[in-house]
Structure 1
Amino acid sequence: KISMFGAMADWMAVPLLRYDYGGAKLPRTGLSHPLIQPYGAYATRNGPPILIAIQNQREYLRFCNQVLEMPGLIEDPRFRDNPARCENVTQLKGIIDEHFQGMERDALIARLRESKIAFGEVNDVEKLSAHPALRRVETNTPGGLVSMVAPPACTDEKHDALGPVPALGEHSEAIRAEFS
């Protein structure tokens, strides 16, 4: 089985290691989708952004009716279907931004849950580092023991330990010999 959280944590391994061992938070690069709208991170009145993913027309109807409480958006020609929403994403994002910025984060999360709309809480690398679902494994490096994100795939709830990280140039001769 594959842990989706583990897969995302693995995807964040470089920024996470930078934070854990260098104390630096790398800047965000955005969370959006070019072919599905609305899809992206939206700010609320308080707290970190919420990522929403409306993946079909049925979800869009629920989103407009139950989350935004704006049924008029359903028949608006600019947002009637996904191709139109993608074409008019700036206007749609503006409407959603304005609405969500007036909502408390917990209230939005409750509405999204009740409406069965896919969402995620956007955390920074500091919260990822402290997340209770983050699994780690330790491995040896020339500089000492390091805690790494565990591989996301696992069998029988056991995870193979990572081998030691080689020192710079440690295997250079063997690699040169192999490819000469």
Structure 2
Amino acid sequence: MLSIQNEREWQRFCVEILVAADFAEQYPDNSSRLANRSVVDGSVETALGKLSHTEASAKLKKLEIAYSTLNDVRGFPVIRF
């Protein structure tokens, strides 16, 4: 899960993660991204799908973009099977 909180983050995300600076120009604000949600979501899924969890986390952290990860029950350290 990630959160683009402002246009500056969107610019960095497009350049560094999507590797498509023109994408930031095509969808410059939240309204345009919401109006084209399927296109934006598809591009984000494709780009992140090419990265391992470790790579994506490292890049998002470096870019100072809010993100989190989800574990399944087996990944929860308190539960023992």
TM-score tier after normalising by the smaller chain length:
0.7 to 0.9
CA distance in 2, matches of 1:74, 1:109: 21
Question: Could you say which structure has the higher strand fraction?
Answer: 1
* 1:3-54 CA-partner distances (Å, limit 9, x unpaired): xxxxxxxxxxxxxxxxxxxxxxxxxxxxxxxxxxxxxxxxxxxxxxxx1110
TM-score (structure 2 length as normaliser): 0.84
Question: Is contact 1:67-1:115 (8 Å) kept?
Answer: no
Structure 1 equivalent of residue 18 of structure 2: 68
Partner of residue 41, structure 2:
93
Structure of larger gyration radius: 1
More helix by share: 2
One-letter amino acid matched to 1:124: D
Question: Matched residue of 1:122: which SS?
Answer: coil
Q: Give the deviation of 1:85 after TM superposition.
A: 0.4
Q: Secondary structure at the match of 2:64?
A: coil
Give distance in 1, aligned partners of 2:72 and 2:30: 30
CA RMSD of aligned residues (A): 1.7
Offset from partner CA, 1:125-170 (integer Å, 9 cap, x none): 3434638xxxxxxxxxxxxxxxxxxxxxxxxxxxxxxxxxxxxxxx
Pick 1 or 2: higher relative contact order, CA cutoff 8 A, min separation 6: 2
Which ranges of structure 1 fall in alignment gaps of 5 or more residues?
1-50, 132-180
Q: Is 1:123 aligned to 2:64, yes or no? A: no
State the aligned residue count.
79
Tell me, which stretches of 5 or more residues in structure 2 are unaligned? none
